[in-house]
Structure 1
Amino acid sequence: MCLLTGAAGVLGSEFCRRYAGEYDIVAVCRTRAPVVPSQLETYVDPLDPADQEAASVYTVFADLREQAAVDRLVEVALARFGRVDLLVNAAAYTKPYSQTMVDGDAALINLDEHLRTNVVAPMRLATTLAHQFWMHRAADNLADNRNIVNISATAGSTVYPFQGQAGYAASKAALNALTGHMAAEFRSFGVRVNTVVPNAFPGAISTGRVTDAIIQFDRGKATGSAIVLDK
């Protein structure tokens, strides 16, 4: 089973559309659901109403910045499916600040918002899932190849000529560092942790390449590694 955050975004929606037939997906959203069959929506062919597309996506609304919401999310996922084999941390805050870094407190406030969603939330969810399910199941984790894929960005290692990106870039650089340390610590109970590092999608690269990289990590054995998609 896959627990996917940011499920209503460009990447999350594409992942659900492409892989809902292969995974049971708990699609985590903050305000809007992905446009895929779920317990919230059923797709019906008007020419053949009896032919309804089966839903393998279960949508949950949660603010991942709040510990109580994360606790509830993990409890719901485990109650429904009994396991989590893949965690994809794709939720992201991406809003730039509008002025320069030295114009008042805007850039500092912006940095705090980026860190809360792009760094603290993935760690909060991963550690909560570890406490509630993974930590005492090392043999099962290894047998089921359980893993985490964090979605970073090339902005975490490249200074692009666009004003207002410092908060976003710093958060992605921090996520890269967090991934390496998480891989080292989660190894003790058999859970792998990797990161996909794309340039802007679907502009610079296709969204499909990002989803394919997630699947490559899920089906492989690597940990503490990164797939960079820059061209």
Structure 2
Amino acid sequence: MLDRFGLDGRVAIVTGASSGLGASVARALAAAGARVAVVARRKDRLARLAEEIDGFPVACDLVDLDGLGAAVESVAGELGHSEILVNAAGSMFTEERAEAEPLEAMRRTMELNLLAPFRLAQGVFPHMLKAGRGSIVNISSISGRVGIPGIPQASYAASKAALSGLTAELAVQWARHSIRVNTVAPGFFRSEITAPLYDNERSREYLRRNTPLPVQGSAEDVVGAVLWLAGDAGSYVTGQTIVVDGGWTAR
């Protein structure tokens, strides 16, 4: 059974890999045997990570939707046909409440959190066809399932809910090609984006009070779910949004 978690020789693309969850996912896939292309804007961080995991750095702006196809093709030219895509890049572009949220912030959020994963999925599709299999794992958020009091994020929540809908549709369309598509929806864990929450005692108490499990989440908790879905261990799972949140949404 443990062999089913191995990814020896498979080619993986991980976006948002210059920091945080994306970097952790890239390290885990490489440790499992995959040849990993790391994709993000920050060239210096990408270069260091690629050297660490013997990966292939691809510096690009994910909101340049027309350029994503070229990024996928560069990976194919260097490593071979992609069998794994992890869309870990995502962000919020405003902290305004919904009634004041700029429309431009909604557009930018949708471009990065929804349209870029869709374009990358389109890009890897022919390579997965040639490989005879594929696994796409999108990184969403519990914000796509429940509202979070005190943290305004209308566009972010909408983009993450839409990502789960896209996941289900692609999973059904592409199942006949043995291409699986799933989403992992993390709860709160410390990262560059959430650091202010964990550096404030009032916020930490809010998180403790609303998380049933008496432990603090980490990127590694999310990575475990991604690793399961990426390889043969999750071979009968598709179209699902797997929540990794310490029980937050189960309350």
Q: TM-score, normalised by structure 2?
A: 0.76
Equivalent residue number for residue 150 of structure 1? 138
Unaligned 5+ runs, structure 1 = 42-52
Distance 1:70 1:95 in 2: 21
The answer as to 2:215 corresponding to 1:200 is no
Give the aligned residue type for 2:38.
Answer: A
Equivalent residue number for residue 218 of structure 1? 230
Distance 1:157 1:181 in 2: 17
Give the aligned residue type for 1:65.
Answer: V
Distance 1:201 1:85 in 2: 28
Equivalent residue in structure 1 for 2:92, among 73, 91, 94: 94
Distance 1:24 1:94 in 2: 30
Between 1:169-178 and 1:155-164, the stretch displaced more is: 155-164
1:27-53 C-alpha deviation (Å, 9 max, x unpaired) = 001234347442xx5xxxxxxxxxxx6
Equivalent residue number for residue 30 of structure 1? 41
How many residue pairs match? The answer is 207
- Specify whether residues 198 and 120 from structure 1 end up closer, same or farther in structure 2 by C-alpha distance, changes over 3 A only: same
Equivalent residue in structure 2 for 1:159, among 147, 171, 182: 147
Equivalent residue number for residue 113 of structure 2? 118
Give the aligned residue type for 2:15.
Answer: T
Look up the SS of the partner of 1:102 in the other structure. helix
Between 1:210-219 and 1:160-169, the stretch displaced more is: 160-169
Distance 1:30 1:64 in 2: 8
CA contact (8 A) 2:18 2:49 kept: no
Equivalent residue number for residue 2 of structure 1? 12
The answer as to 2:132 corresponding to 1:141 is yes
Equivalent residue number for residue 102 of structure 2? 107
The answer as to 2:56 corresponding to 1:58 is yes
Q: How far 1:66 sits from its partner (Å)?
A: 2.2
Where in structure 1 do 4 or more consecutive aligned residues deviate above 6 Å?
none
1:133-153 C-alpha deviation (Å, 9 max, x unpaired) = 234x3xx424xxx21000000
**Superposition RMSD on alpha carbons, in Å?**
1.9
1:75-115 C-alpha deviation (Å, 9 max, x unpaired) = 110001111110000010223333x3233xx4322211111
Larger helix proportion of the pair: 2
CA contact (8 A) 1:107 1:167 kept: no
CA contact (8 A) 2:85 2:136 kept: yes
Give the aligned residue type for 1:3.
Answer: I
Look up the SS of the partner of 2:136 in the other structure. strand
Unaligned 5+ runs, structure 2 = 1-10, 191-197, 199-215, 247-251
